[in-house]
Amino acid sequence: MSDVYEELAQMTPNSQKIYARNAKILAQEVVGTIWMPYSFYATEAKGSRMKDADGNEYIDLTMGFGPLILGHNPDCTVQVARETADKALLLGIPNPYQGELAELLVEASPCAEQVMFCSTGTEATMYAIRIARAATGRSKIALFDGSYHGAHDYVIMEGDLTNNPSEPDHHPQGKGVPEETTNQIMFLPYRDEHAFEMIKQHKDELACVIIEPVQSSNPRLDVGDFLRELKEVCAACGFHVSSGVPERTGRTR
Ligand SMILES: Cc1ncc(COP(=O)(O)O)c(C=O)c1O
């Protein structure tokens, strides 16, 4: 064990006990789609800070892997969640509030014209892929090596760069994904201009190109130019392109 693992083990005895207990009963502990180099359990969080089951405090640099743009447990959200829970926790049938929220989201998001609410990112990418297939009548989808898009069959793929890093192979991360599904995927190299050639070459087979613009497994600031060029290439290939990538501002990083 390296020093850092020894230090973590000393810091987190309660997390280790929880891990041992959960490993027997929670399937995701053994077939996890997100691999954590060291498992610890968070019990509370506020703003940028998080506490684990042993009372250690951390700064959450990823903000809940991305979605917590207001930080953990912002007072305004907590207050509305409490008030709403007083009225109902689960209605089953639609409520009148989601349309109002959808209008606000469209107003705030230059790339959004309509909204579909999902409980998880897995659902969101599943629907996005289905919409792209319905709109184009094509079935293949292009994913970038290293991106994470959730746990459904079409995206639970892992790249293999050993043969040719510019044209990565891919395989499912676990068992149970049919070969027919795996064959519907084309893997692209991330931050490698060869991806643009591959998109141009296969544009007539592809329903969509899906990307995690800044990968949570590889956070970095130098991807702006790559993303802008990707947007241009996809538009030139006839894909519907969202305006989600900001235009050049002259700032360099
Ligand atoms: C870019 C991206 N897409 C999809 C997902 C899947 O989200 P979920 O774990 O909510 O299914 C994640 C989760 O980290 C993600 O980062």
Question: What percentage of residues in the chain have a pLDDT greater than 90?
Answer: 69
CA angle 34, 37, 43 (to 5 degrees): 75
Calpha distance 30→90 (Å, rounded): 31
pLDDT value of residue 252: 40
SS in 3 state form for the chain?
CCHHHHHHHHHCHHHHHHHHHHHHHCHHHCCCCCCCCCCCCEEEEEECEEEECCCCEEECCCCCCCCCCCCECCHHHHHHHHHHHHHCCCCCCCCCHHHHHHHHHHHHCCCCCCCCCCCCHHHHHHHHHHHHHHHHCCCEEEEECCCCCCCCCCCCEEEECCCCCCCCEEEECCCCCCHHHHCCEEEECCCCCHHHHHHHHHCCCEEEEECCCCCCCCCCCCCHHHHHHHHHHHHHCCCCCCCCCCCCCCCCC
CA angle 170, 228, 123 (to 5 degrees): 50
Query: Which among 50, 47, 53, 91 has a CA at the least distance from the CA of 71?
Result: 47
Tokens of 149: 């898009």
pLDDT band at 110 (very low <50, low <70, confident <90, very high): confident
Ligand 1: residue of 63, 65, 144, 210 to mutate (most ligand atoms within 8 A of CB) is 65
| Ligand 1 midpoint to CA 200 (Å) | 27
Closest-lying ligand 1 atom to the alpha carbon of residue 120: 10
Closest-lying ligand 1 atom to the alpha carbon of residue 121: 7
Does position 251 have pLDDT exceeding 90, yes or no? no
Locus of tokens 């894909």: 239
Q: Would you say domain 121-236 falls under CATH 3.30.930.10?
A: no
- Looking at the chain, the domain(s) classified CATH 3.40.640.10 span 121-236
CB of 97 closer than 6 A to ligand 1? no
pTM of the model: 0.83
Does position 208 have pLDDT exceeding 60, yes or no? yes
Mean of pLDDT values over 78-103: 93
Query: Which among 179, 146, 148 has a CA at the least distance from the CA of 165?
Result: 146
CB of 145 closer than 6 A to ligand 1? no
What is each CA distance from 141 to 114, 205, 206, 231, in whole angstroms? 22, 8, 5, 16
pLDDT value of residue 31: 52
pLDDT value of residue 57: 98
Beta bridge mates, 77? none
Does position 125 have pLDDT exceeding 50, yes or no? yes
| Mean pLDDT, all residues of the chain | 90
Whose C-alpha lies nearest to ligand 1, atom 4? 149
Ligand 1: residue of 118, 156, 212, 217 to mutate (most ligand atoms within 8 A of CB) is 212
